[in-house]
Amino acid sequence: MGAEFRNEWKHEITASDRICIRQRMRAVARTDPHAKNGIYMIRSLYFDNLYDKALREKIDGVNRREKFRIRYYDGDTGYISLEKKSKLNGLCSKVGARLTKEEAQAIVDGDYSWMMDSAPLVRELYSKMMSQGLRPMTIVDYTREPFIYGPGNVRVTIDYNIRTGLRCTDFLDWNCVTIPAGDAPIILEVKWDEYLPEIIRQAVMLSDRRAAAFSKYAACRVYG
């Protein structure tokens, strides 16, 4: 159940940067077909343990780390995915598995008995819940503008309006109250495989912005 590692850049940008990059990307790439009117809303439920393993590894810049999350889009609980995102030597990979609404709710409710008879990634999460004490920790909401470009398998996303559910884990309730994650910036992410085409490199270039290691999960955990 391996996944290929991809290159990833993250940049903290301003509202005016967002408008500029959006215009450039619309000229050279296409909007992700899953986006409605160019955007979609993402809700994720992140896992961690009592010792904040995932959070501390992120803050400390551990070279090899992973985190688990359950995610769905635009309030549609008909398609829910469990994801494991891994980082190694600055590269990233992601693997996923479908969950039903009932399975996702069972995990939130602490019913893990069915997980060992499920997909490999679900079994892996179960194993680490048992061995590392991983549990649902906090909701992270945000809005995403996604663009795709075929050569290099490039994906460019602009994420903003990052909100936290504090300690609330009832993430299947789309009306669950979330609050702004403080001064969370707008995040530009660029992912690609073997090479980043020059036309995309130019489209996302900002002279006074530097790559950053921003984590939406870490930003939201400040509040709970």
**Residue 75 located in a structural domain:** yes
Contact 176, 168 (CB under 8 A): yes
Distance of alpha carbon 150 from alpha carbon 172, whole angstroms: 33
Per-residue pLDDT reduced to its tens digit, 35-86: 999 999 999 999 999 999 998 888 888 889 999 999 999 999 999 999 999 9
CATH, residue 99: 3.20.100.30
**Residue 131 located in a structural domain:** yes
112, two tokens: 């893990």
- Which carries the bigger pLDDT value, residue 168 or residue 39? 39
Q: What angle do CA 94, 3, 142 make, to 5 degrees?
A: 10
Distance of alpha carbon 222 from alpha carbon 216, whole angstroms: 10
**Residue 58 located in a structural domain:** yes
Using 50, 70 and 90 to split pLDDT, how confident is the model at 17?
very high
**Residue 2 located in a structural domain:** no
**Residue 146 located in a structural domain:** yes
Pairing of strands 135-149, 179-180: unpaired
**Residue 178 located in a structural domain:** yes
In a 3-state reduction of DSSP, which class is residue 166?
A: coil
Domain enclosing residue 165, as ranges: 7-221
Using 50, 70 and 90 to split pLDDT, how confident is the model at 28?
very high
Domain count of the fold of the chain: 1
- Position 134 pLDDT exceeds 80: yes
Distance of alpha carbon 106 from alpha carbon 113, whole angstroms: 9
Arithmetic mean of pLDDT, 176-204: 91
